[in-house]
Structure 1
Amino acid sequence: MAKLSTAAPIRAAGAVLWRRSPYDRGIEIALVHRPRYDDWSHPKGKLKSGEPEAAAALREVKEETGMDCALGAPLPSSYYLVNGRPKHVRYWAAEALDGSFAENREVDRLVWLPPAAARARLTHDRDRPLVDALLDTLRGGV
């Protein structure tokens, strides 16, 4: 049985990055592939010392996807263990504004997918409800 750490939780922030499809005006969601973990996920990362969560979400989206974005509604947070240490990730809906992807040390691929395909491509079950939360949020305001 894994022993829980008494250390402070890892704090991180990210976003479910979306845009209108240039083809059919439906919604597309950006997913990033991280070769270190060989997984597909939403852009996210650890907060720097003293950094506000929303600022970290904007920074991480830019670093991992090359996209500037506008943060929208908060989405559910994710809680899980990393090597026995709790991790808390705050998420927002984020509309892509401008930018272009370039492979970097953390992310080697980015895909834009319709919601059902994005949900299926996500590696971790904990990330799938964020797609539904984004869609619920957009139905109320877009």
Structure 2
Amino acid sequence: MNDTPVLAAGCVLWRRSPVDGDLEVCLVHRPKYDDWSHPKGKLKRDEDAADGALREVAEETGYPAALGSELSTVHYYANGRPKEVRYWAGEAGEGHFTPNHEVDRILWLPPSQARERLTQPRDAELVNELLTSLHNTQ
């Protein structure tokens, strides 16, 4: 059994709503798992975690991100192996989502709705961390 963690990174991607200026969080739907989560993915060999987070967000959502505060690192088991995902707050830039085999839909939701839609409770905690980090930097 391999106990070396799979290293991954991602963002709690946010923006100000183009309609009313309220905060929105981007969630991605992965058809392979039929779940809603934050954009994230495995790091390439020797890839810096922050660089990997930015790459994965752009690949999965079509939006570039500007990294903000680092949020919690999440640890869990996936397919029998430990997984370690580092997260950052990421402010979305101008972009456009195109469905692909990994992510077929994205949603921009107010934080309260994002927390309810997320499949894993650990992902909802990251929304709370995002709000705290944004509140502390305003």
Q: What TM-score range do you get, normalising by the shorter chain? A: over 0.9
In the other structure, the counterpart of 2:78 is 82
Q: Mind listing any 5+ residue stretches in structure 2 that lack a counterpart?
A: none
1:92 aligns with 2:88: yes
Match of 2:114 among 114, 118, 137: 118
Normalising by structure 2, report the TM-score.
0.97
Following superposition, the deviation at residue 93 of structure 1 comes to 0.1
Shift of 1:65: 0.1
Counterpart in the other structure of 1:38 = 34
The 1-side partners of 2:3 and 2:44 are apart by 17
TM-score (normalizing by structure 1) = 0.95
Supply the RMSD in Å over aligned alpha carbons: 0.8
The CA deviation at 1:6 is 3.8
Separation of aligned partners in 2, 1:22 and 1:16: 18
> Matched residue of 1:67: which SS?
coil
Matching residue within 8, 11, 36 for 1:15: 11
Q: 2:53 is matched with which residue: 43, 51, 57?
A: 57
- Alpha-carbon separation, structure 2, partners of 1:108 and 1:82: 21
Q: Which runs of 4+ in 1 moved over 4 A?
A: none
User: Higher Cα Rg: structure 1 or 2?
Assistant: 1
Among the aligned pairs, what percent are the same residue?
A: 59
For this pair of structures, how many residues does the alignment match?
A: 138
